[in-house]
Copies of this chain bind each other. A is one copy, B any other.
Amino acid sequence: MRAMTLQITHRQSNVLAFIRTRIERDGQSPTLEEIGEALGIGSVSAVLKHVRSLEAKGRLTIEPHRARSIRLVREPDPMDADTLELPLIGRIAAGEPLFSDSRVDRRLRVSRALFRLRPDYLVKVVGDSMRGDGILDGDLVAVHATAVARHGQVVAARVRGNEFTIKRLHWKSEVIRLLPNSPGFKPIDVDPTEDFAIEGLYAGLLRGR
Chain B residues with CB under 8 Å of A202's CB are 209
A133's nearest neighbour on chain B, judged by CB, is B136
> Closest CB of chain B to A41's CB: distance in Å?
19
> Closest CB of chain B to A108's CB: distance in Å?
4
Binds B, one of A28-36, A65-73, A95-103, A111-119: A111-119
B83 contacts A109, C-beta separation under 8 Å: yes
Does A106 reach chain B (CB closer than 8 Å)?
Answer: yes
Does A205 reach chain B (CB closer than 8 Å)?
Answer: yes
B109 contacts A82, C-beta separation under 8 Å: yes
Binds B, one of A1-9, A18-26, A54-62: A1-9
Does A17 reach chain B (CB closer than 8 Å)?
Answer: no
- Which residue of B108, B134, B140 contacts A139 across the interface (Cβ within 8 Å)? B134
A86's nearest neighbour on chain B, judged by CB, is B111
Does A208 reach chain B (CB closer than 8 Å)?
Answer: yes
Known contacts: A5-B3, A134-B134. The answer to whether A108 contacts B113 by CB under 8 A is yes
| Residue of A108, A117, A202 most packed against chain B (CB within 10 A) | A108
- Which residue of B1, B83, B117 contacts A209 across the interface (Cβ within 8 Å)? B117
A204's nearest neighbour on chain B, judged by CB, is B208
Does A149 reach chain B (CB closer than 8 Å)?
Answer: no
> Closest CB of chain B to A34's CB: distance in Å?
27
Could you tell me the distance between the alpha carbons of A111 and B205 in the complex, rounded to whole angstroms? Answer: 14
A125-148 vs B: 1/0 string, CB under 8 Å?
A: 000000100111001100000000
Q: What is the interface of chain A, defined by CB distance below 8 A to chain B?
A: 1-3, 5, 7, 9-10, 82-83, 106, 108-111, 113-117, 131, 134-136, 139-140, 154, 202-209
Sampled A-B contacts (12; CB under 8 Å): A3-B5, A106-B113, A108-B113, A109-B110, A115-B208, A115-B209, A116-B208, A117-B209, A134-B136, A154-B209, A204-B206, A204-B208
